Structure 1
Amino acid sequence: MSIVALLATAGLAVKVFQSPAPVATTNSSPAAELEKPLKIAYVNADTLLEKYEFFKKQREAFQKKEKDADAALKAKGRALEKDFMATQQKAQQGLLAPSAMQQEEQRLMAAQQKLVAEQERITKALLDEDKKIRDELQKAILDQLGTIKKEEGFDFIFSYTAGGQLLAVNDSLDITQRVLEILNTKKD
């Protein structure tokens, strides 16, 4: 590198680092245009799910229905398994003619397919019901939060959950109990 180029580079560096950066004098950012501070609140989502009475009743009824369906399907599965074992034992003892054995095999396969179809139907019905319950829950909570937001003039209402995106919150901004009181009196 030539001495002239080196001196030019050094001179430019000195000039850049010595001159102050231009400072913007107008506050045109949206944050600067706000005349009042943001009004925010949060609800503890875990507490809402735990203490919202309507949802608790719905969840308990759903869990019972799920448990009953599971027990019924298991009972039908055990009955089919016993039927299969009995047929297999008859075949091993030579008590079934080949044509009767083929009929039994077809009957057992049809029963198994019917059981699988019933299991799929029940699973789909339970998933649909679970989605309906969750949609009702979300609508009830969002409707109430919208009302509170409007009444109180909140700019934002956040959802707080342990391990969620909000890592630390100010307890004075928590409106969970208020929301629960309104929701629980509405649905009772």
Structure 2
Amino acid sequence: MKQILSILFAVAVLASCKQGASEGTGGQSSGRIVYVNTDTLLNNYDLYKDVVNEFQNKQFALENELKKKSESFQNEVALFQRRIQAGGMTQQQGETTQQQLQKKEQDILLYRDNAASGLAEDQAKQTDEILTNIQAYLEKHNEDDRYDMVIGFSKGGGVLYAKNNLEITTEVLEGLNKEYADKKDGKKSEAKSDSTATK
């Protein structure tokens, strides 16, 4: 997930080139470009960490559920084979049970595919939410029109070199984490007031 976000963020450039920001003659833009180190940002952005943890928990739960379904199915198959070998089934019963087992196997595979697809969709939505939050914050952060462009920098990405004094990762990260903490606190206090109201 981190690689996907790094690539998306490096490509997603916030270009707020406002005509009013000018330097010198001819009303040209000041050309102030800064960057955010996406690797550092993603490693330390609390929303991203929570999303990754949530996704890993869902993935782990799905894997456990599939393992249980698979083990249960294997036990049924083993029981069926023992009963066939012991002669405890008629040919018709054997064929019916075999068809039921095949259907059960198909259902497990279909469930696995649908669950994996649902997880992938969920991951795509959350990735979009993270990028949207970052871009929205950068727009607010640049309300005073200090920058014409904020680019994403990551090792091995499109930007091979940038001066350290152009990096704004720390201030962006602090702002994003504060904004996220405030949102979480707001949701907690809403949940408390809702539970108090229902008592």
Return the TM-score normalized by structure 1. Answer: 0.78
In 1: Cα distance, 2:28 partner to 2:45 partner: 37
Residue in 2 aligned with 1:186?
179
The answer to whether the aligner puts 1:108 opposite 2:101 as a matched pair is: yes
Is contact 1:48–1:176 with CA below 8 Å preserved after alignment? Answer: yes
How much does 1:185 deviate?
0.7
How much does 1:67 deviate?
0.6
Residue in 2 aligned with 1:24?
none
Distance 1:54 1:91, change over 3 A: same
In 2: Cα distance, 1:96 partner to 1:182 partner: 69
- Residue identity (%): 25
Which of 64, 86, 89 is the matching residue for 1:93? Answer: 86
**Pairing of 1:115-130 with structure 2 (within 5 A):** 115-130=108-123
Q: What residue identity is the alignment partner of 1:53?
A: D
Which of 110, 126, 137 is the matching residue for 1:133? Answer: 126
Which of 152, 155, 165 is the matching residue for 2:158? Answer: 165
**Pairing of 1:8-19 with structure 2 (within 5 A):** none
Residue in 2 aligned with 1:49?
42
**Pairing of 1:58-77 with structure 2 (within 5 A):** 58-77=51-70
Q: Which runs of 5+ in 2 are unaligned?
A: 1-24, 182-199
How much does 1:95 deviate?
1.8
Secondary structure of the 1:151 match is: coil
Q: Which runs of 5+ in 1 are unaligned?
A: 1-31
How much does 1:132 deviate?
1.3
Deviation per CA, 1:93-125: give whole Å up to 9, x if none.
222110110111011011111111211221121
Q: What residue identity is the alignment partner of 1:90?
A: R
**Greater C-alpha radius of gyration:** 1
Runs of 4+ in 1 over 4 A off after TM superposition: 32-37
Return the TM-score normalized by structure 2. Answer: 0.74
